[in-house]
Structure 1
């Protein structure tokens, strides 16, 4: 008996060893030789990048507190220290771009290269594949409209570095009674089913009886409590969100309800499931996975580019879903996610349109403007949104000297131009309602004006105003410029794009030749 057990243990051990040596060579290396992820604080990661770049000191960013000694500038007479932007239609050799072919083959690649190298970072060459899984499919309601809602997870292949896992969270909602594929707006934000279907009362009774039995089995003293309170139920069904209740607050319905009512679908994609919104997370998430847990190099992508990559992977799934008109998928975001939405639209040509909300520095706002949020706000603060190289432009002392925003080879008007001729809606609110002056609405409008020559060169329509960004003045609040593929509207609300959603839908429906749902 003893010899038999020993023999079995020996043969099992040999089999296990044989299985290991029969594994693909790369797998064995990944399991045995890859170091664990580096764990940095944000300050340590920031200093690491400064050391790589030879930066000894950065200029401090301005304060958003107007009473602080180092408060941001809000005086228009000092707002344009570098008044002339890089000409969006002039090649680096000085030649003017006069044809669409010159734009696509010469000027656009120049701009993309500068943005990738100096501002947002490059996509790695060894990006892993994403496999989408539908976790839940549910029939629900959004408002009074029946919908089909799906919870999805995009499993990122981590076989090259199993120490880091990335699972992209996305929710997809489409009208249940659509007669064909529907256009869709993908939105950066928290995911979740809109109105999960609840069991009927008779099933809830069975569930509660089972829960009570389990609780009593765990703690017999609970039997007396349940006896004294026979009407108590541990679990209660949620009230349906579409039912009648208290009257709605004044204003437009929620964005998701407006989209569904118009016959659109929507997707919610969670940026945090792709890449953390902090510097300490740069050795985790998709950036950390591709770098095998090691710190970034100066040209590596930052969080904005990583979020946009995740959105593109979400679009991969949408292209396989017959309920979606994949030729008319848009991207939306507000604030930092407005920056990400603009970066996504600029770099991923499969997105047909974008609603870019209150994006500020790193988004629509001109980097060269000295008004509110500044380049230095990002080089010292949210540096992880950008490529490491972007830090150079906030440098006061370094091995290469010093650089300022005027040294940037590109600016935000060129990022908007990369979206041409696709539908690009720039949205802002008003400072009085919370869309802070910090965001520089005027500078963002100037950038939009400076981008429109590219839209016109490519056969699209711009804002319908002069191309002279030096003298550009924003139109009145609630008076949008919505006649072309490039659009602008400043609403009278706060730090949100919700008041502009109905105008976005009217504008987009018209330009894609679609009749809204009745």
Structure 2
């Protein structure tokens, strides 16, 4: 079985390598394109102030992204119960409180459970938090032996000891490098994280996770305009925020949603569609996240929809190899977060995610922030590597590859203290 798992991983890696080899990484081959103006409605009317943006411009963009990119949540499902299943007042060498909360959702004979792992600073009575998903289980972000191992389906990763789609003790702490928990705690900010596979397993299968709770009659998968997995994961982040509104140890008005890669796409959509999030961080989110689609650099709409057909709604496939037909682009997704603080980050070696396209998206979104007298990115010239621009709209490109590093977290923490928590 292990040989089979290794063979599957090898085939997947080769498929990704082939697709990336075929991608465009040459700026001279980026097609000529015209970006839609976020300060013009679809029928060409100018938006001249924040009131008009909020009432007209924002709503029609949100509707388009909902119906044609991420998909509509086809109903409402509230938390049936919330229970603290484990806690400690003496975590992280006495610096923090640890809480593990199980949220349960019920409909008919269906039940869904996901667990929020929280580390909260002892020094703050009602803590602001970074809220974000992890890829392989809450137990992977820390070596803390008290953190519960999820029983949910997981992508195999033999190097982490994950085979047969099951998480094990062997994978405890394998992703501590991506979560600077003690730096957060020292800054007076907590962390809340969820294993994304508990909300919706990351595979092209809509018979599991949260989707079937909303099916009618003999429906087997979402309709063309209904949610894919990114929208479902975003839904889960909003349900965590619902819980924080009832929980005295977290400041529900200071929850910053964070995500890396596909979960960076998720954090952006969560922040755009749920205005309760106080700030939004996108780390190496690429196509369908912060990067401009019309540049066709690195990963493209067609490639992402063929490789991961479950992430977006089916309507998004209308723009496969047809980005020029999109009446929107991702800078307008970022604009939906205005006037709340936004941080977009890239990595120099992560050309698949198109760092320049991510930066330009933040730049072009900034004109909407201007309506609210919030400072964004003021020049279309990319900053030097490892020299962040930190305003209400912030950006950095760091050395290294597609990952989350201490450098990233140091910038996010400083930005959060200056832009969100003041």
Secondary structure (helix, strand or coil) at the match of 2:293 reads coil
Does the Cα contact within 8 Å between 2:138 and 2:194 map onto a contact in 1?
yes
* Whole-angstrom distance in 2 between the partners of 1:266 and 1:186: 6
- List gaps (5 residues or longer) in structure 2: 1-14, 148-172
Q: 1:507 aligns with which of 394, 399, 415?
A: 415
* Whole-angstrom distance in 1 between the partners of 2:411 and 2:104: 36
Shift in alpha-carbon separation, 1:194–1:458, aligned structure 2, 3 A: farther
**Does residue 66 of structure 2 align to residue 116 of structure 1?**
yes
**Does residue 126 of structure 2 align to residue 181 of structure 1?**
yes
Shift in alpha-carbon separation, 1:64–1:449, aligned structure 2, 3 A: farther
* Whole-angstrom distance in 2 between the partners of 1:384 and 1:98: 38
Q: Normalized against structure 2, the TM-score is what?
A: 0.83
**Does residue 75 of structure 2 align to residue 131 of structure 1?**
no
Aligned residues: 374
Does the Cα contact within 8 Å between 2:20 and 2:299 map onto a contact in 1?
no
* Whole-angstrom distance in 2 between the partners of 1:313 and 1:425: 22
- List gaps (5 residues or longer) in structure 1: 1-61, 199-240, 242-251, 396-403, 466-471
Q: How far apart are residue 194 of structure 1 and its match? A: 5.8
Shift in alpha-carbon separation, 1:359–1:346, aligned structure 2, 3 A: same
Q: 1:440 aligns with which of 342, 345, 354?
A: 354
Secondary structure (helix, strand or coil) at the match of 1:331 reads strand
* Whole-angstrom distance in 2 between the partners of 1:423 and 1:497: 20
Q: How far apart are residue 378 of structure 1 and its match? A: 2.0
* Whole-angstrom distance in 2 between the partners of 1:255 and 1:274: 24
Shift in alpha-carbon separation, 1:330–1:67, aligned structure 2, 3 A: closer
* Whole-angstrom distance in 1 between the partners of 2:79 and 2:124: 33
Q: How far apart are residue 262 of structure 1 and its match? A: 1.0
**Who is 1:213 aligned against?**
none
**Does residue 23 of structure 2 align to residue 78 of structure 1?**
no
**Does residue 394 of structure 2 align to residue 487 of structure 1?**
yes
Secondary structure (helix, strand or coil) at the match of 2:210 reads helix
Secondary structure (helix, strand or coil) at the match of 2:119 reads strand
* Whole-angstrom distance in 1 between the partners of 2:17 and 2:30: 16
**Who is 2:365 aligned against?**
451
Does the Cα contact within 8 Å between 1:255 and 1:501 map onto a contact in 2?
yes
Secondary structure (helix, strand or coil) at the match of 2:395 reads strand
Shift in alpha-carbon separation, 1:145–1:84, aligned structure 2, 3 A: farther
Q: How far apart are residue 348 of structure 1 and its match? A: 0.9
Q: 1:339 aligns with which of 253, 259, 265?
A: 265
**Does residue 115 of structure 2 align to residue 169 of structure 1?**
yes
User: Based on CA coordinates, which of the two structures has the bigger radius of gyration?
Assistant: 1
Query: Over aligned residues, Cα RMSD in angstroms?
Result: 2.3
Q: 1:478 aligns with which of 386, 401, 409?
A: 386
Secondary structure (helix, strand or coil) at the match of 2:411 reads helix
Q: 1:266 aligns with which of 187, 191, 202?
A: 191
Q: How far apart are residue 283 of structure 1 and its match? A: 2.1
* Whole-angstrom distance in 2 between the partners of 1:140 and 1:412: 43
Alignment of 1:380-395 (within 5 A): 380-394=306-320
* Whole-angstrom distance in 2 between the partners of 1:117 and 1:254: 34
* Whole-angstrom distance in 2 between the partners of 1:303 and 1:326: 25
**Who is 2:40 aligned against?**
90
**Does residue 367 of structure 2 align to residue 422 of structure 1?**
no
| CA shift digits 1:300-343 (9 cap, x unpaired) | 10100110110010011112222212111101111111111111
Does the Cα contact within 8 Å between 1:64 and 1:372 map onto a contact in 2?
no
**Does residue 126 of structure 2 align to residue 191 of structure 1?**
no
Q: How far apart are residue 140 of structure 1 and its match? A: 3.4
**Who is 2:156 aligned against?**
none
Does the Cα contact within 8 Å between 1:455 and 1:462 map onto a contact in 2?
yes
Shift in alpha-carbon separation, 1:260–1:409, aligned structure 2, 3 A: same
Q: How far apart are residue 125 of structure 1 and its match? A: 2.6
Does the Cα contact within 8 Å between 2:245 and 2:252 map onto a contact in 1?
yes
Q: Normalized against structure 1, the TM-score is what?
A: 0.68
Runs of 4+ residues deviating >6 angstroms: none
Does the Cα contact within 8 Å between 2:346 and 2:358 map onto a contact in 1?
no
